Structure 1
Amino acid sequence: MAGGVLSFPLTSFRDDGSLDLDSYRTYLTAQVATAPGAVFPACGTGEFSALDEDEYRAVVEAAVDVADGRLPVVAGIQARAYATVGVPAVHAFAPEIADACFTALRDGDNAAVSKLLCDFCIPLVELRDRAPGYAVCLVKAAARRRGLPVGPVRAPLTDPCPADLADLEQIPDAGLNLVGAIRRRTA
């Protein structure tokens, strides 16, 4: 699992709140293509608390099917405990930013780490802390903004307010711009 950023995929729902496994498989296929170290389906950003047992089983089974032995799929109590200790959910909507963070930390690129923290991570955490549930809601909103088929959040969560969505629009763009600058600098 130490080979790359860990993926905590979002769970896809339809507008009526029902589980959308076809969209989930499409989304997860894109996540797996970025070669994360492991996939943790139905954890914090996967809205574990909103899934019933059959839905949870279906989400995990779909993840195992999509991963097809190419990387570990970690599920169950151990995975949920790991997800709640504060592992960033950035890979769920911007794997290139998560990879840049991981690479900069691994390689000791302190300048890149500092820029990513100041211009992307801290603003995202500050926005996340504005309202309960935003750890999932913002990630899902950012994923939808990038055209990923993850659908809405499920009750009791609600989408961020318009002002927070406007703030959210700037944060991933800043992160992606930093990734481009880091890649140009290290090329």
Structure 2
Amino acid sequence: MNAPTRPHFDGVLFFPVTPFTEAGDVDVDLLARHVSGGVDAGAGGVFIACGTGEFHALELQEFGSIVRTAVEAVASRVPVYAGTGGSVAQAKLFAKAAQDAGADGLLLLPPYLVEVPQAGLVAYTRDVAAATDLPVIVYNRNNARYTEESAVAVSNIPNVVGFKDGTGDLDQVARIVRAVSDADKDFLFFNGMPTAETTQQAYRAIGVPLYSSATFAFAPDLALAFYNALEAGNDALVNALLREFFHPLVRLRDTVPGYAVSLVKAGVALEGIPAGSVRPPLVMPTDDDIAELRRIIAAGRAVLADALTEAV
């Protein structure tokens, strides 16, 4: 297999939700509107049917439809990566479906349930990567935690092009970045923590410039303002957005398991796209929590309004 072209990501990475109808089916029309709107707003890449998109709750046929809808909505404006994972057999099937649907690459989520030895994690990555010729970004989180040695090993797989961290173990990730970079790998590194904006200053310091933004799915103005302020070294705006929006959002997110997904879906609905409920075992936020989410979004936008006034 020839090494694929290294993808280029510029700016905030968009992880769409998967809208469902009242009957529980995928609403492809709303999905197309959601994805297209995100790209119009300035997303630097689309990661479809991943964690925020409830990959864990999708079956193969609807997954293919979701990826195809996203690819058509994006229309080659930015890269489209699709989630895959679970059992090795399932992951290979979803990888092939993503390629058939026109995806530009894959985000490899962890296998389910089992504890994973390092040799097995490398073998899992190698087997799934070999199912297609798409570039693959591996996701370091939960039970799929790479060491320096295994990270270097998977970076040697021809179509593995990136490493995304969801552990928050900055010491370990810094050592992985150094080990892979010392091996002369032209590799991409991503911060994949929930609400990644709250940790991105620290990740940038260890050589991880890219990050996923769940916030972009429902408040692209806030996500882009934070990104631009970070890039420009506008510490005052970065700190104000963290204080008034991102940190309160994290505190609310952490009150209920699964809110990292369902709060985003509720936020998408607040912004005018009725994306429906999450699928079990996740639960939607309570009315009180949705009201708090609305307040937090308003507080974030008040920060932007104040910054604009000061700039005039």
Q: Same fold (TM over 0.5)?
A: yes
Query: 5+ unaligned residues in a row in structure 1: which ranges?
Result: none
Which residue of structure 2 aligns with residue 34 of structure 1? Answer: 41
Question: Does the aligned pair in 1 maintain the 2:45–2:79 contact within 8 Å?
Answer: yes
SS in 1 for 2:80: coil
For residue 19 of structure 2, what is the aligned residue in structure 1?
A: 12
Quick check: 1:133 aligned with 2:133? no
Task: Kindly state the Cα deviation for residue 184 of structure 1 after the two structures are TM-superposed.
Answer: 3.2
Is structure 2 residue 54 aligned with structure 1 residue 47? yes
Residue 63 of structure 1 pairs with residue 188 of structure 2: no
Taking the TM superposition and a 5 Å limit, the aligned residue runs for 1:111-122 are: 111-122=236-247
CA distance in 2, matches of 1:16, 1:138: 21
Cα deviation code 1:126-146 (max 9, x no counterpart):
100001110011111111111
**Counterpart residue identity of residue 53, structure 2:** G
Q: Which residue of 2 aligns with 1:91?
A: 216
Change (3 A) 1:76 1:46: closer
Structure 1 vs Structure 2 CA RMSD? 1.6
Which residue matches 2:159?
A: none
CA distance in 1, matches of 2:165, 2:61: 21
Distance 1:167 1:76, change over 3 A: closer
CA separation of 1:149 and 1:163: change in aligned 2, threshold 3 A = closer
Distance (whole Å) between structure 2 residues aligned to residue 2 and residue 185 of structure 1: 31
Q: Deviations over 1:30-74 (max 9, x none)?
A: 111112110000111111111111111111111111111111111
Report the CA distance between 1:2 and its aligned residue.
4.1
Q: Give the TM-score normalised by structure 1.
A: 0.93
The question of whether the paired residues in 1 share the 8 Å contact of 2:47 and 2:83 is answered with: no
| AA in 1 matched with 2:54 | E
In the alignment, the residues of structure 1 paired with residue 11 and residue 76 of structure 2 have an alpha-carbon distance, to the nearest angstrom, of 16
SS at match of 2:14: coil
Give aligned-pair identity as a percent. Answer: 41
Give distance in 2, aligned partners of 1:3 and 1:184.
Answer: 28
What stretches of structure 2 of length at least 5 have no aligned partner? 1-7, 85-105, 110-138, 140-163, 167-191, 194-211
Alignment partner for residue 160 of structure 1, among 285, 289, 295? 285
Further displaced range: 70-79 or 32-41: 70-79
Distance in 1 (alpha carbons) for counterparts of 2:13 and 2:68: 18
Relative to structure 2, which stretch is displaced further, 52-61 or 37-46? 52-61
Contact 1:93 1:139 (8 Å CA) reproduced: yes
**In 2, are the aligned partners of 1:89 and 1:139 still within 8 Å (CA)?**
yes
Q: What's the CA shift for 1:20? A: 0.7
- Shifted more, 83-92 versus 156-165: the winner is 83-92
SS of 1:40 mapped into structure 2: strand
1:83 Cα shift?
8.1
Structure 1 segment 104-115 matched on structure 2, within 5 A: 104-115=229-240
Deviations 1:67-102 (A, max 9, x none): 111111112445242485313300000000000010
Report if aligned partners of 1:123, 1:171 keep a CA contact under 8 Å in 2. Answer: yes
Point out the structure with max Rg over C-alpha. 2
| TM-score, normalised with respect to structure 2 | 0.57
Q: How far apart in 1 are the matches of 2:165 and 2:260?
A: 11
Q: Is the 8 A contact 2:55 2:83 kept in 1?
A: no
Contact 1:27-1:149 within 8 A present in 2 as well: no
Residues 104, 110 of structure 1: 8 Å contact kept: yes
Aligned counterparts of 1:26 and 1:2: Cα–Cα separation in 2: 22
Whole-angstrom CA distance in 1 between matches of 2:83 and 2:37? 23
